[in-house]
Structures are given as C-alpha cells and as structure tokens.
Chains A and B, each alone.
Chain A
C-alpha cells in the first residue's frame, strides 16, 4: 500500500473514532457540542506529555489521558446536561475555545503555538483501524442497549421520558462521557501517529466538521455517520489540490443533502443482518416498498 493511502486511511480511522463519539452525543441524544475537539486536544496533549515528561509507558499514558478527559468532561457536563439544546452549543463552544487558548498560552508545558514535539511515533494504520472497528462496535452495542433507547426517547420528548421513570440528566451524562472518552482516545492515537500536536487543529471548526459528517451520513444512523465521516474526512485528503475549497465543497454537499434528504444519506437505516435481509428481499418486490424506512 502506498504511503499516501496509508496516511489518509490512518487519519480517516482516527476521525471515525471521534465521529462515533459525536454520533452518541448528537445523533442519539440530540446534544450539539461545538467544543468536542477540545477533548481530542486533552487526549492528545495529556498522553503526549505523560510519555515525554513523565516517561510513562504509552498504553498507560493513553489510559490516564482518557480518564483525565472524562473527569474534565464530567465537570463541563454537569451544567451541559441540564441545559436546553441551544445553550449546550454555546457552553461547549466557550469551553472548547478556552482549552485551545490555554494550550496556546501555557507555553512551558505545551510548547504554546509552536506545538508539542518529540512524541514517539508508535501508532500506525493497524492499531487505528482496529480501534475504529472496536469503537464503532461499542457504539452500535450502546445504541441497542437500554441506554441507547433512553437516549433516543429523551431526545424526542424529555418530559414523557421522565414520566416513564427515565433519569434524563443521568442518561445524558452517560452519553456525554462516552462521547468524551471516545474523542479523547482518538486524540491519543492522533498524537502518537503525528508525533506532533499544536493547538490550531482543535478549535470549533473541527467540532463543527464532525457534526457535519454525522448529519451528512444520517444523524439517526451510526452506519450513516460512519460513512459520512469516511467520505468527508477522506475526500479532502485525497484531493489535496482542492484543500482550499474544502469548506465550499462541504457547504455545497450539506446544502444538497439538506434539500433532498433532510435526515441525511441513510436516514435511520442501520447495517444490521435483519435490515440487509429486508433490503435483498425487497429487490424482488415492486420498488419503493422498503425505501421508505425513514
């Protein structure tokens, strides 16, 4: 495999893990975070620093970094899960930008704007691919568990959810922390793949990118979100020459999707044995029978 393709795929797999987290948050639970990339930054910086400065073994450093991000997630999540949808975006936006600014300012610890260098390059395509598959499998399992159901229930109607005995703030917190842990882990992989991190890549634009990927593929479908992340994070890497037009292309794609299929490419469709069977069974019947899943 050529170095270019391997490089593109590795970065795509890292993004897939973060987007699996965003799917839990935005797709399942209906919370919009514009500060999610900050948790990737915490994962990347904390794991990198623990290895460079404290000489910890890499797996332990990653574990501690994910734990640290989860603790920070709990603190920021405490108000977030109690807020209305639009305020959640505001609070997380402020939090994300604050983290980016901190990383910029704390020069002695983080290297400031010039970034943190000298992280050993130990992560490759194999480990990121396996991690992405595991992350998506965990999220798929979460979706069909009691937690996933409660997330979907409270997303649509929090009052009715409470009336059924659902502890809305607790379920939202669990979803938020799962999302944070996944995103932080993707940050760890990112640090040990790039061997260099700087604060510029972890602003709200990155968080917004992930939300766009989820919406593009289908906000109610993990399969769709994964495909969305694959396409939208892979394309600009392959078409390097179009890098400058990335946001133009994004905007056009999103507008097209929103116009013709507001629920995203796949809507609610999931890749499950039952749905695949139905899809093939449907081919024999008159067209249109199974298409209206949404």
Chain B
C-alpha cells in the first residue's frame, strides 16, 4: 500500500459537486501536482485529505491507517503537514514561536511544566528550538527568529509557513498554491526549495499550483481537475499535450 492512498472520494456542498471520484497514490520522495482552473475543487481535496471535513464517500489512508474520519489534529500528528492558499501564520507570535506551535502538540511536558520551569520543560523547549532552527534554516529564514511575520515580505511569510509545516514532521506535505503572489525570482527560489526539501527530508508532496512553470518543473505526476472531476493524470509532458486539458485551460476550438 502506498504511503498516502486516497480512494474514490466525493464531496458535495449542497448542489455543488466539489469533488467527484478523486483518487491518488503518493509515495515518499514523490511530488504530485494538482492543477486546474479556479473552482475545480483543488483546495477541497486538501481539506478532505487533511481532515477539515470528511468526504461523503471514499477513503483516505496514511501509512496504511484509515484516517478518513479522524479529527484534523490527529491526522496532523500521524504525519500530515500543510500550508494554506492565503498565508495563515499566527498573529501575536514571532517567527520562532509560530514554528514552535507545530512542535508544541508533540512536546512532552505536563501542565505543571506549563506553570513552572521544570527540567522537563527546559529540555523539551530546547529540543523544540533546535528543530525550529533546523527547519528555518532549511527554508533560509534562520536570521528572522524574533521578527514578527507580518513585518516580513510575502515570499518570506510563505517560507515560514513551509517551515511550520515541516515542524509537524510530515510524511506527506500538502502545499496549497505556495507561489501565489510571488514574483518570478521568488517563484524560481521556491521551485528550488521544494525540490530540495523533498529530497532532504524524503516526504511525499502534494502541490496545488496555478503557476505552471513551478508545477511542471518539480512534479513527477500531475492530476488535472475541472469542475470537481479528474480529467487527466500523467507526467508533465503527457498532460501538456492532452486535448481535454488544453480545452479546460484555453477553451474549445470551434
């Protein structure tokens, strides 16, 4: 069984068929791109896989375990990290504290340690800060520990969000339009970053992206969605020449 297995999931919102029969299998080290026009149900796929809501039909397995109806935070702890389409860093916390938040649920000290500086708390906080430094360095943000994310550029905030997702120690990482709002230089940097962390940490990546230069460069396999349906699956070359894909993106030739 693959590391992540999504089997025939469906999700409706009232009359809107957001996902119809979506399946995917992803292994460690693979990058899967998911593309499609706005409203094709791409983010809904992420929300369903990561447990924001359960699918109407179908199943999701992570590492062989059925996670279809698990609560979101439990799925995260089993090894699923994600970033958001519109950056959702925590306001009121520094860059380091933001990233630490993803470590805190696994941090092993009790409420007593929450009130008093017990040796246990000191040890766990130190472990957390070290991991934090490691992941911030992986995204090149190690010099901004004590800054507030809202004072940093959009591209930097994107990278902090990726570091925060890495802090969940994911087996599968979901990146929801990581290049949105970035300039071409930043997109090139991000392309390099995604390939690098994929190799460095060896997790599987699912990537939703509109910027084709990014998604075509890094993906091993691409799923094309349109109106909730998968219209094509294949390597970047294959989908680029698929007539249905061209039609969905450019319209039909009369």
Contact = CB atoms under 8 A, between A and B. Distances in A.
Given A147-B111, A163-B82, A164-B168, A152 B92 contact: yes
Interface of A: 138, 141-142, 145-150, 152-153, 155-157, 159-168, 174, 178, 220, 268
Contacts of A162: 71-73, 76
B101 interface: yes
A150 B73 CA distance: 13
B39 interface: no
Interface stretch (B113-121, B191-199, B209-217, B234-242): B113-121
A34 to B, nearest CB: 24
Contact of A155 (B50, B92, B125): B92
B107 interface: yes
A20 to B, nearest CB: 12
Interface in B122-176: 124-125, 128, 164, 167-168
A178 B73 CA distance: 23
B102 A165 contact: yes
Given A146-B104, A149-B100, A167-B105, A160 B76 contact: no
A142 B116 CA distance: 8
Contacts of A157: 88, 90
A163 to B, nearest CB: 6
Contact of B76 (A142, A149, A153, A163): A163
A14 to B, nearest CB: 20
Contacts of B117: 141
Contacts of A178: 111, 115
Nearest to A155: B92
A145 B121 contact: yes
Nearest to B87: A160
Contacts of A160: 84, 88-90
Nearest to A293: B148
Interface of B: 50, 52, 71-73, 76-77, 82, 84, 88-93, 97-98, 100-107, 109, 111, 113-117, 121, 124-125, 128, 164, 167-168
A128 B16 CA distance: 61
Contacts of A163: 50, 52, 72-73, 76, 82, 84
B93 A141 contact: no
B90 A142 contact: no
B73 A156 contact: no
Contact of A145 (B71, B77, B113, B167): B113
Contacts of B52: 159, 163
Contacts of B90: 152-153, 156-157, 160-161
Contacts of A148: 114
B92 A146 contact: no
Nearest to A292: B151
Contacts of B82: 163
Contacts of A168: 73
A174 B111 CA distance: 8
Instruction: Please name the 4 residue pairs, one residue from A and one from B, whose CB atoms are nearest each other, closest first.
Output: A146-B104, A165-B76, A165-B105, A160-B88
Contacts of B89: 160
B114 A165 contact: no
B91 A147 contact: no
Contact of B107 (A141, A142, A146, A174): A146
A149 B72 contact: no
Contacts of B92: 152, 155-156, 220, 268
Nearest to B76: A165
A141 B101 contact: no
A164 B121 contact: no
A150 B92 CA distance: 11
Contact of B114 (A141, A159, A166): A141
14 contacts: A138-B115, A141-B115, A146-B100, A146-B103, A146-B124, A147-B104, A148-B114, A152-B97, A157-B90, A160-B88, A163-B82, A164-B76, A164-B164, A268-B92
A155 B101 CA distance: 13
A275 to B, nearest CB: 11
B73 A146 contact: no
Nearest to B128: A146
B43 to A, nearest CB: 12
A150 B76 contact: no
Nearest to B169: A165
A168 B88 CA distance: 16
